[in-house]
Amino acid sequence: MQQSFPLNYKDCPSFFSKIRHPLRFQGWKKQKSYFEGWYYKVVAVDQNLAFAVIPGISIKNENDQHAFIQVIDGIRCRSDYYKYPISDFKAAIDNHYIEIGPNVFSEKVMSLNLPMIKGNLTSSSWQKLPFTLKRPGIMGWYSYIPTMQCNHGLGSFLHYWSGEITVGPNNYTLKRAQGYVEKDWGKSFPRSWIWTQCNTFDCQDEVSVFASVAHIPWKSTHFIGFLGAIWHAGEIDIFSTYTGTTRHTTLNDDNVVIRLSKKDKILDLTITKAPGADLISPLSGEMRGKVNESIQAKMYMKYQSDSKCIEANGSYAGLEVAGPVEELLT
């Protein structure tokens, strides 16, 4: 059952229900300084196609709120922002299903009717992060803290899209185009962050990698938090602040280098920068910030443990480097 977005919806899910299902809509009853957005990435390597679609809502206050869809054309390095009345936003209560105007987003279907992109895609099963009480989501026990400035959820490490799509002037027939889904919700993006993701590697096995480093407000101070994960043929390994991981981060004009290590496991990432497009980002719920994102970056990845070593080069990697990132470096 899906509902329009009423601020006083009386049957909204409980706090624990929302934590258990981070991909579902979290923002019932929010009235000010709130945003929520889902990031759907699609890459068809054989057709030189890479784009991301970001549906979401922005709430500054009771009188200033709207739904939106942002689109990034990763090949043409172009972005578009489409604004909708908040009444055009509908969300399911008991599963991940979003409607914004004539556009639909779910685990099975993505239906788009926008000036820049149109089409209907269906997906294979999503490779998700399993739920546990200690780790209800990618943020671990931080998921239970209701005052986090920004929450992060991982929807699918990898799945495959099929269907017909038109991007700009070009028509595509997709068969097994790689998909990736994550989301953010809360008040604002961090004041500085590095984010990267890739699941299009040149190795035979299926691999998906995600990593981020960010400035996190914490009570009256702050800390540098980080998340990293690798999905390989159904197995997941998480490197993060809450798993005892150590981090080393450097960058220059050409590359971002992140090393995450814990006990006998190491995840090394070298991301080569590439042209991108400017996106609008949230500040106190209002979409008025700006961040540049590339979907043309290259990623070298090496994962080592006692039992395996995976080394591969990836294309169409996502990369964001935003704010005073010097404070994130080690």
Per-residue pLDDT reduced to its tens digit, 264-281:
899 999 999 999 999 999
Compute the chain's Rg from CA coordinates: 19
Place of tokens 């269906």: 122
pLDDT at 40: 98
d(CA 308, CA 207): 13
Tokens read off for 227: 């998340």
Query: How far is residue 317 from each of residues 40, 203, 286, 297, 329, measured CA to CA in Å?
Result: 14, 15, 28, 5, 21
d(CA 215, CA 86): 30
pTM of the model: 0.95
Closest CA to 273 of 228, 319, 232: 319
Name the strand (E) or helix (H) holding 18: helix 15-20
Strand, coil or helix: 329: coil
pLDDT at 7: 44
Query: How far is residue 181 from each of residues 1, 50, 94, 127, 157, measured CA to CA in Å?
Result: 22, 14, 19, 10, 7
Using a 10 angstrom Cβ sphere, with 0-12 exposed, 13-18 middle and 19 or more buried, the burial of residue 1 is exposed
Using a 10 angstrom Cβ sphere, with 0-12 exposed, 13-18 middle and 19 or more buried, the burial of residue 120 is middle
pLDDT at 299: 98
**Contact (Cβ atoms closer than 8 angstroms) between residue 184 and residue 154:** no
d(CA 101, CA 282): 21
Name the strand (E) or helix (H) holding 19: helix 15-20
Tokens read off for 201: 């590697």
Tokens read off for 197: 């993701």
Query: How far is residue 150 from each of residues 12, 197, 240, measured CA to CA in Å?
Result: 21, 18, 16
Find residue 70's DSSP bridge partners.
54, 81
d(CA 57, CA 99): 11
Residue-level pLDDT, tens digit, the chain, 330 residues: 455 554 455 677 888 888 999 999 999 889 899 999 999 999 999 999 999 999 999 999 989 999 999 999 999 999 999 999 999 999 998 899 999 999 999 999 999 999 999 999 999 999 999 999 989 999 999 999 988 999 999 999 999 999 999 998 999 999 999 999 999 999 999 999 999 999 999 998 999 999 999 999 988 889 999 999 999 988 999 999 899 999 999 999 999 999 999 998 999 999 999 999 999 999 999 999 999 999 999 999 999 998 899 999 999 999 999 999 999 998
Strand, coil or helix: 327: helix
pLDDT at 112: 98
First-to-last alpha carbon distance for the chain, in angstroms, is 48
